[in-house]
Amino acid sequence: MHDLVVRRGTVVDGTGREAFEADVAVDGGTITAVGEVAARGRREIDARNLLVAPGWVDVHTHYDGQVTWDPLLSPSSWHGVTTLVMGNCGVGFAPVRRGQEAFLIELMEGVEDIPGTALHEGIEWQWESFPEYLDVLAAKKRVLDVAAQVPHCAIRAYVLGDRAHDVEVSDAEISEMSRLTVEALRAGAIGFTTSRTILHRSRHGLVPGTSSTPAELLGIGRALGEAGHGVFEMVSDLQGQEPDLAWMKEFASTTGRPITFAIAQTFVQPTAWRDTLALVDGLYEKGLQIVPQVACRPTGMLYGLQSSFHPFILYPTYRDELATLPLAERVARMRNPEVRARILAEELDTQDPIVRLLLTNWSQMFPFGDPPDYEPPAERSIAALASQTGRRPEEIAYDRMLENGGRHFIFAPLANYLDYDFDVLREMMLHPRTVLGLSDGGAHCGLICDASMPTFLLTHWARDRKRGERIPLEQAVRLQTQNTARVYGLTDRGAIEPGKKADLNVIDFDALRLHTPEMVFDLPAGGRRLVQHVDGYRATVVAGEVTFEGGEPTGALPGALVRAR
């Protein structure tokens, strides 16, 4: 008798091996047999005509606050994620000194667009040190496994206090930051993270550590070597050029630890991602592990009347008279022909060049339907629709956003879509040195909802894509199971093999379907967040227990804190 047998499914085992029909037996939270299983299970799942895959391992999320109050960790858990890594991009909530809580919240709110009011109300600060934070996480029950990284911003605030933003720091301060990092890693942190991008700002400016010197980064980096584990993650503007390269090489060669950072095809440097991949290939030959993180679709800004950003948000009439009205009232006012004419006669009231570009880049904005099309052709852009119909793009955007009671979104890919198809993404995803990341689960609540990327990898890349080559299902599954798990040393999971952790997804592949995203107001203090529902996950299993069945949580909370050792 086994604890659980998933019977006669089509197993896509996460290793890239061709799909095969088999039973999967589970005992004590571990896979014990894959093949023909004669003995019955105390619990059986009939998986005929269904896929059986490992649970998804999502390495780029920002659930650091939500993890303390929400055992369900949606929307990632709805999408088959069974392990998530948080604490990315240098922001997080430990270590923290009394009185610094608000500062850390402001950084998170500024960078990741997670409502500060929700974080203030949701988080009970029961820790000071990073090990204490891990102990608090370990004591709480949840639906999936979480792993935490130690964020540079918090370390800097802890050591430097009011000088957290200073570039110059003393050797003694670097030693102290390094000591705290070793302490966090020894307690089980799975990595150290920082920000090197001019895009990540809070109301205090660039986040602490953005301009840190190589001496500081290497000083802290050596902690990873000392602890003998951990990934160095950063969000970086590095796209094939040099400024960070010297210390990265030194870090990778002296510590042997991997560095990972996101790359994308950007407006500014549309081919630099290719240079970065070539560079990384060269370093790999020399034994240095530099692992670019890539997405499986463009980072999707969703402009709508409920979003934190949309084309009219800085039009004077909208900003001054309408912005704070309840949605229904706002929609009614905006439908009024006189108001409509007045707004459309105005202009964006800002000189910020980035904001102006993002809010008027009509050739990179697309009305978003249901089901949502994440790979729309150029002729469906708002610019194209405008020239096809002889209207102004502003009119089209205005009228579309009012549809569906003001809930219609305009899809504005932030990167990776200059060619109007996903061939660039495909090349990045299949490059042997990259890892899939960037769902940003738990973050960008008012603008982006990419926590569904794990599902999209199957629906779009392995099944529906028509505008270019697809990715074989076996390979797609490996990208977000064995591959993601390995980068973080999580070799106990990510494949369906005897001895591995029993984290599984049982999927009706033909029925797997993403709904269009929607804004809900269910964070603490009524905070808003975008979520996206899905059909087709028949069951999700974590440590041998069924956590979701037919899309509904079962109430089982077998998730644990993963401590790196």
Residue ranges binding Zn ion (CB under 5 A): 88-89
Q: Measured from the CB of residue 439, what is the shortest distance to Zn ion in angstroms? A: 9
Q: Measured from the CB of residue 462, what is the shortest distance to Zn ion in angstroms? A: 25
Work out whether the CA dihedral 411, 63, 531, 203 comes out positive or negative. negative
**Tokens 């499914």, residue located:** 9
Nearer Cβ to Zn ion (178/484): 484
Give a three-class secondary structure readout of 459-487. Answer: HHHHHHCCCCCCCCHHHHHHHCCHHHHHH
* Cβ-based burial of 365 (10 A; exposed 0-12, middle 13-18, buried ≥19): buried
Q: Measured from the CB of residue 111, what is the shortest distance to Zn ion in angstroms? A: 8
Q: Which residues pair with 271 in a beta bridge?
A: none
- Dist CA 397 CA 256 (whole Å): 50
Q: Measured from the CB of residue 107, what is the shortest distance to Zn ion in angstroms? A: 12
Strands 504-507 and 537-542: what pairing?
antiparallel
Strands 300-303 and 537-542: what pairing?
unpaired
Nearer Cβ to Zn ion (112/503): 112
Q: Are 459 and 453 in contact (CB under 8 A)?
A: no
Count CA atoms closer than 13 A to 31's CA, side-chain side. 27
The two structure tokens encoding residue 27 = 């005992």
Nearer Cβ to Zn ion (63/417): 63
Query: Cα 311–317–320 angle (5° rounding)?
Result: 100
Q: Measured from the CB of residue 207, what is the shortest distance to Zn ion in angstroms? A: 12
Nearer Cβ to Zn ion (85/288): 85
Nearer Cβ to Zn ion (89/174): 89
DSSP at 458: I
Nearer Cβ to Zn ion (89/334): 89
Q: Measured from the CB of residue 226, what is the shortest distance to Zn ion in angstroms? A: 26
Nearer Cβ to Zn ion (89/348): 89
Q: Measured from the CB of residue 287, what is the shortest distance to Zn ion in angstroms? A: 28
* Cα distances (angstroms) measured from residue 473 to each of 51, 80, 373: 10, 16, 20
Indicate the residue type of 169.
Answer: V
Nearer Cβ to Zn ion (10/210): 210
Q: Measured from the CB of residue 76, what is the shortest distance to Zn ion in angstroms? A: 14
Nearer Cβ to Zn ion (41/442): 442
Q: Are 198 and 206 in contact (CB under 8 A)?
A: yes
- The residue of the chain with the least Cβ separation from Zn ion equals 89
What are the helix (H) ranges across 403-452?
A: 403-406, 423-430
Among 145, 50, 163, 89, CA closest to 458: 50
Q: Measured from the CB of residue 146, what is the shortest distance to Zn ion in angstroms? A: 15
